[in-house]
Chains A and B, each alone.
Chain A
């Protein structure tokens, strides 16, 4: 039997007196597409940010691809990970942000080539060739020499996806990647993600408010509320036949707001 690629074990995290993750446990299998849904403040974005090591945890253990994320073993004991360990672990994970976070002083092509050249020592010509393939894949090759400021939100987000893919992560985290987009630009980004979902065996975790996309895309849906997973299952079950009262209320509100599921 295959091992989970992500294993989250009794993880707790607080911001002051507000507990954002409460004794959280779940696993993700390699290649699994996971949708994290729930009201804002429920902890779903925090879990992605924690996996990217942008946030630390207060207690518990996270394992990624067989290794501890925030710990390392020394003389048989678990000690906090040092920067070199975090650096090794981050190489397995890529992240796409709600606000794109492109480098505004670099061209589209430079945005995609920078990290492979710096972190993997890829030669410039090779990095550029690979970057052009990725930009081609997300439909942005024609804008390779543009500056990010000249792009629409949807275009920026497609470049950001190419930039994250350039490091060939095993796990991709998508944090509300369409939430900042004008409605007519959402679909072009979702199309790219659909393609990644079908054409790669990457493990993908996405936090989203696009319920119909989550329904079609995800193998499994986790419903978060107040730092806990209150319900999980295949999208067919969660969306059409939610058992938990809070899931029901949440989905009713979403439908009332006009979304189709």
Chain B
């Protein structure tokens, strides 16, 4: 039974990889979501088409397949990626596509009267977006971004298929070495839940901070 501490260590190593994938995946997904989401609202036909094609492709195909492409197919055309890089790329682009629709719909949810105030005050399109529309839209995005981040966390488990030693991968290792199924999978369950709760809590805190003052009270 002395082995259990070693197995716990193994699982925590796995958890660290999962956290790393989640953080890096989100770090990629966020700018991609803004680029594609704002691209959908562009004045230029070509930019809108490009953004739409990206979003529909990554939402419409499986994350498994995307991961396998990143890891097994890209090397065939000269892009050699480590498992971690492939994992971050696939996760970031996949979740970024969902995030893009969040960005687009949040910007569009800001009333037309705010846009008209920007025109009347002679702000350029970009100035209006940057100083008026996006700060208000961002508050609308936060809860859904929280969902997206949790989705991304859970989707990291697919990287075990390209032999990245994440939490799910390590649980399988422990299971095969101990013959115990319930304990490693219960541990994994608890760790995923704890990580998701941490994301949830962080997002709620951020949302509370960002909406302060909008109800009539300055921070």
Flag if A115 contacts B122 (CB, 8 Å): yes
Given A146-B218, A149-B216, is A103 in contact with B119 using a C-beta cutoff of 8 Å? Answer: no
Q: For the complex, is A164 an interface residue (Cβ under 8 Å from B)?
A: yes
**Complex: chain A residue closest to B114, CB-CB:** A101
Interface size, chain A (Cβ < 8 Å): 30
Flag if B119 contacts A114 (CB, 8 Å): no
Q: For the complex, is A261 an interface residue (Cβ under 8 Å from B)?
A: no
Q: Which of A39-78 contact B (CB under 8 A)?
A: 52-54
Flag if A149 contacts B123 (CB, 8 Å): no
Please pick, from B116, B125, B216, B218, the residue contacting A97 in the complex, using a CB distance under 8 A.
B116
Contacts of B3 in A (CB 8 A): none
Flag if B121 contacts A163 (CB, 8 Å): yes
The stretch of A25-33, A86-94, A187-195, A205-213 in contact with B is: A86-94
* Candidate in B113, B119, B120, B135 with the most chain A CB atoms within 10 angstroms: B120
A119–B135 CA distance with the chains assembled, in angstroms: 19
Contacts of A101 in B (CB 8 A): 113-114, 116-117, 120
Please pick, from B124, B132, B139, B218, the residue contacting A147 in the complex, using a CB distance under 8 A.
B218
Q: For the complex, is B214 an interface residue (Cβ under 8 Å from A)?
A: yes
Flag if A147 contacts B131 (CB, 8 Å): no
Given A118-B127, A118-B131, A119-B123, is A103 in contact with B214 using a C-beta cutoff of 8 Å? Answer: no
Contacts of A140 in B (CB 8 A): none
A87–B116 CA distance with the chains assembled, in angstroms: 14
Interface size, chain B (Cβ < 8 Å): 23
Please pick, from A52, A90, A97, A147, the residue contacting B113 in the complex, using a CB distance under 8 A.
A97
Q: For the complex, is B168 an interface residue (Cβ under 8 Å from A)?
A: no
Shortest beta-carbon distance from A130 to chain B in Å: 15
Q: What 0/1 readout, one digit per residue, does chain B (204-219) give for beta carbons within 8 Å of chain A?
A: 0000000001111110
Contacts of B117 in A (CB 8 A): 97, 101-103
Given A147-B213, A167-B121, is A54 in contact with B218 using a C-beta cutoff of 8 Å? Answer: no
Flag if A119 contacts B218 (CB, 8 Å): no
Shortest beta-carbon distance from B216 to chain A in Å: 4
A146–B213 CA distance with the chains assembled, in angstroms: 9
A119–B123 CA distance with the chains assembled, in angstroms: 6
Contacts of A149 in B (CB 8 A): 213-216
Flag if A90 contacts B214 (CB, 8 Å): no
Q: For the complex, is A14 an interface residue (Cβ under 8 Å from B)?
A: no
B interface, CB within 8 angstroms of A: 113-114, 116-117, 119-125, 127, 131-132, 135-136, 139, 213-218
A interface, CB within 8 angstroms of B: 52-54, 83, 87, 90-91, 93-95, 97, 99, 101-105, 107, 114-115, 118-119, 145-147, 149-150, 163-164, 167
CB-CB nearest 6 A-B residue pairs: A115-B121, A101-B117, A149-B216, A150-B216, A95-B120, A90-B122
A119-B121, A147-B218 known; 15 other A-B pairs, CB under 8 Å?
A87-B124, A94-B120, A97-B113, A99-B113, A101-B116, A101-B120, A103-B114, A104-B214, A105-B213, A115-B123, A145-B218, A149-B216, A150-B218, A163-B121, A167-B122
